[in-house]
Amino acid sequence: MQKIKEIDKSVYDAARARWKSIAKPLGSLGAFEETVSRIAVAQGTLKPDISKRRVLVMCADNGVTSEGVTQTDSSVTSLVAENITREMASVSLAARTARADVTAVDVGMERDAAGTLKRKIRYGTGNILRERAMTRADAEKAVQLGIDLAAESADEGYKILVAGEMGIGNTTTSAAVACVLLGKTPETAAGRGAGLSDEGLKRKIEVIEKSIRLHNPDKNDIIDVISKVGGLDIAAMTGVFIGGALRGLPVVIDGFISSVAALCAKRLCPKCGGYMTASHVSNEGCAKEILDALGLTAPIRAEMFPGEGTGGVMLLPLLDAAIEIFNEMPTFEDINLERYREYR
């Protein structure tokens, strides 16, 4: 992490100045102008390029599923993982349109899934209501796995990454981590996940509260938090955000679970925050508060919560359009038009 470079503020300032010079109403592309500027900074260029893009979907199971905090059992994790590899899942179909490559990574599923990239740390995590999710060593291995995958992606010529996940029960573990890091109550951090009844949500909140009380994770020790109440998918995505920063790759945050991993990464290594960009404001849990803590504004506000990296992928075609405008549109001087004045 010591090798990660601080972002070059001069590139950011130049990117913002470029936006103001383009012959269009000032600030008219809203959050897309900030997002493109962040990508330019991460890549260290005023000609940002996201032509080759990859979605890393970290697939892992969570023992807490046995506590009735989800609508389905853990068998769905491997089923969806296989659907991802067969281009039958939402992220795969969205990626086909967005021209993105999707890699489903088995970092900790209880059942093996055909077609996935096998990088399994262990077969699922412990039930956080009864025991810690994993050992500290396992959490460190999962973070390192994410770092390595980001490095491999850079070596293969990818220009931008999307951090996605698949794991039944991971909104529970993510909410637990968010509670610890942000000082939130389970009532404000937990959502309905893939679909919980009022009774199911009540049980989820109870499980999160009791699990945090049992393990008493240290909010200043991110690995301690992840290993006690988190998940292998969260740990691996944390590594992707760190690894992206290490190799100058912008990494797109998908939804709630991805944003929790991003927060873990930034708390571990503040410098990697400059290489992150948000895709959408998830409708799950305290997603907006997490983005606020990261200092990020998401361009998409559509009340989505599909997971898998789907929201991150749906951002890519919009970014294509914004980057084309940034790179190719003439300036006020080019067309001999007096610059707009900035009043806001």
Q: How does pLDDT run across 293-324, given as a tens digit for each residue?
A: 999 999 999 999 999 999 999 999 999 999 99
Place of tokens 């493109």: 36
Give residue 194's pLDDT.
Answer: 80
For residue 28, give every residue at least 6 positions away whose Cβ sits within 8 Å of its Cβ, in sequence order, or none.
none
Catalytic residue numbers, as ranges: 308
For residues 155 and 248, is the Cβ–Cβ distance under 8 A? no
Out of 3.65.10.10, 3.40.50.10210, 3.10.450.50, 2.120.10.30, select the CATH number for domain 53-319: 3.40.50.10210
pTM (two decimals): 0.96
Give residue 1's pLDDT.
Answer: 82
Q: How does pLDDT run across 186-209, given as a tens digit for each residue?
A: 999 998 988 889 998 999 999 999
- Report which of 93, 141, 85, 142 is spatially closest to residue 113, judged by C-alpha positions: 85
Q: Structural domain boundaries of the chain?
A: 53-319
Q: How does pLDDT run across 216-240, given as a tens digit for each residue?
A: 999 999 999 999 999 999 999 999 9
Q: How does pLDDT run across 49-104, given as a tens digit for each residue?
A: 999 999 999 999 999 999 999 999 999 999 999 999 999 999 999 999 999 999 99
